[in-house]
């Protein structure tokens, strides 16, 4: 896949979704399901890297770009994020015109609801691709409970999961 089509794909999926994590399943549709360029594991990895490294949510596009085309791919992913962010300035002009339409708010709520469905789909996809043993399932459930119901830091959750994975796969145990 050339970098230009990757750039355009990133632009497309970012412009039709709201919020950092939302375009991930769309990108997966395109790169895994349609083009067969990456694996589901690559997407789960990109999400984990995005969570571990600093910055706002949504930077997982950068590791995905890296998997697609090395450092230039990563830079292209970052550029697409920047371009979409800059386009918010259009909203400053648009806002005066459409903000008072009742349909605008309702449509945005519907899009947010579908975004919620997207994130669920993402979780479901990762479960299907990576949860094979009872231990995998236990890790997934524990990570959910810790992030949803406690104030434990995401970094600690990831580090804990890595430690469990390391011990469970030590040769000779």
End-to-end CA separation in angstroms for the chain: 42
172 binds other proteins (CB under 8 A): no
User: Smallest distance from the beta carbon of 110 to other proteins, in angstroms?
Assistant: 2
Residue 144, both tokens: 């959910």
Nearer to other proteins, 2 or 117 (CB): 117
The Cα 1–Cα 70 span in angstroms is 12
In the set 93, 97, 102, 172, which binds other proteins (CB under 8 A)?
102
Positions 105 through 164 that interact with other proteins (CB under 8 A): 105-127, 129-131, 136-137, 139-148, 153-155, 157-158, 160-164
DSSP three-state, residue 4: helix
Instruction: Provide the angle, in degrees to the nearest 10, between the axes of the packed helices 102-130 and 40-52.
Output: 110
Which of 87, 86, 67 shows the shortest CA–CA distance to 77? 67
In the set 1, 3, 37, 45, which binds other proteins (CB under 8 A)?
45
In the set 56, 93, 96, 172, which binds other proteins (CB under 8 A)?
56
Nearer to other proteins, 7 or 59 (CB): 59
Site string for other proteins, 4-33 (x = CB under 8 A): ----------xxxxxxxx---xx--x---x
72 binds other proteins (CB under 8 A): no
In the set 38, 47, 68, 76, which binds other proteins (CB under 8 A)?
47
Burial 74-110 (b: 16+ CB within 10 A, else e): bbbbebbbeebeeeeeeeeeeeeeeeeeeeeeeeeee
User: Smallest distance from the beta carbon of 3 to other proteins, in angstroms?
Assistant: 15
The Cα 52–Cα 159 span in angstroms is 9
Q: What is the DSSP letter of 153?
A: -
User: Smallest distance from the beta carbon of 4 to other proteins, in angstroms?
Assistant: 19
Interface with other proteins (CB under 8 A), residue total 103
The Cα 32–Cα 36 span in angstroms is 4
């Amino acid at each position: 896949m050339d970098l230009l089509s990757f750039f355009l794909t990133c632009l497309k999926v970012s412009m039709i979704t709201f919020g950092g994590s939302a375009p991930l399943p769309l990108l997966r549709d395109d790169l895994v399901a349609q083009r067969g360029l990456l694996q589901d594991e690559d997407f789960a990895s990109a999400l984990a890297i995005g969570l571990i490294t600093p910055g706002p949510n949504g930077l997982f596009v950068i590791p995905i770009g890296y998997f697609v085309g090395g450092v230039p791919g990563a830079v292209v992913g970052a550029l697409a994020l920047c371009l979409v962010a800059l386009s918010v300035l259009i909203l400053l002009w648009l806002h005066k015109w459409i903000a008072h339409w009742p349909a605008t708010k309702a449509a945005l709520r519907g899009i947010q609801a579908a975004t919620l469905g997207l994130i669920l789909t993402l979780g479901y996809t990762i479960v299907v691709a990576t949860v094979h043993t009872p231990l995998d399932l236990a890790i997934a459930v524990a990570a959910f409970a810790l992030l949803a119901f406690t104030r434990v830091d995401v970094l600690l959750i990831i580090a804990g999961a890595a430690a469990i994975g390391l011990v469970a796969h030590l040769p000779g145990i």
